[in-house]
Structure 1
């Protein structure tokens, strides 16, 4: 799939923004996987950017919500429609082969950015 210049720039902004927010919380980013229509290449101009964020640390639900909200707020300010899912590398490893989890499908169709 060929990526146009605008999408390439948005991917860069997404990566930089997520890195910056996680750094504020002293969390190490391991990987960002774009999934959904943007990863498959069948998106429309107004499609959102589905990002699956894999980090080193396991966080409680409240901290995950706080960080996810912060990232979404940054993207809203930049006018980038989005859906953010945060998961620890340990949870990702446990779920990546189980078809009952989104993790499986993210790995199957996703594209690392």
Structure 2
């Protein structure tokens, strides 16, 4: 296992420990195999509970960022609820549709 794969596995485990997500998906240039040396890791975290007044997406992102703060990889995070993910997969111009189509599953709760 190369170092980047090992680091990415560590990031996935930290996210799972912090938030118990339904899915974690790698998308973008890294998922397509078109990345360059400085490309970041686009990671989509899908959680069961919806976001709203009682549950802040911003606070959830902060919790995940704290869990992976020491990761030696450039990471760009998105966090959506399972309902949002399923609803937006059919949108032609939405990043979630692209993540669903071209993404690689890094974790899925069973």
TM-score > 0.5, shorter chain as reference: yes
- Of residues 6, 9, 21, the one that matches 2:6 is 9
**Contact 2:11/2:71 (CA < 8 Å) preserved in 1?**
no
What is the CA-CA distance between 1:81 and the residue it aligns to? 1.1
1:32 and 2:29 are equivalent in the alignment: no
User: Aligned Cα RMSD in Å?
Assistant: 1.8
Distance 2:33 2:4 in 1: 11
Greater RCO structure (CA 8 Å; 6+ sep): 2
- What is the count of residue pairs matched by the alignment? 105
TM-score between both structures, scaled by the size of structure 1: 0.81
Structure 1 stretches of 5 or more lacking a match? Answer: 23-27
Structure 2 stretches of 5 or more lacking a match? Answer: none
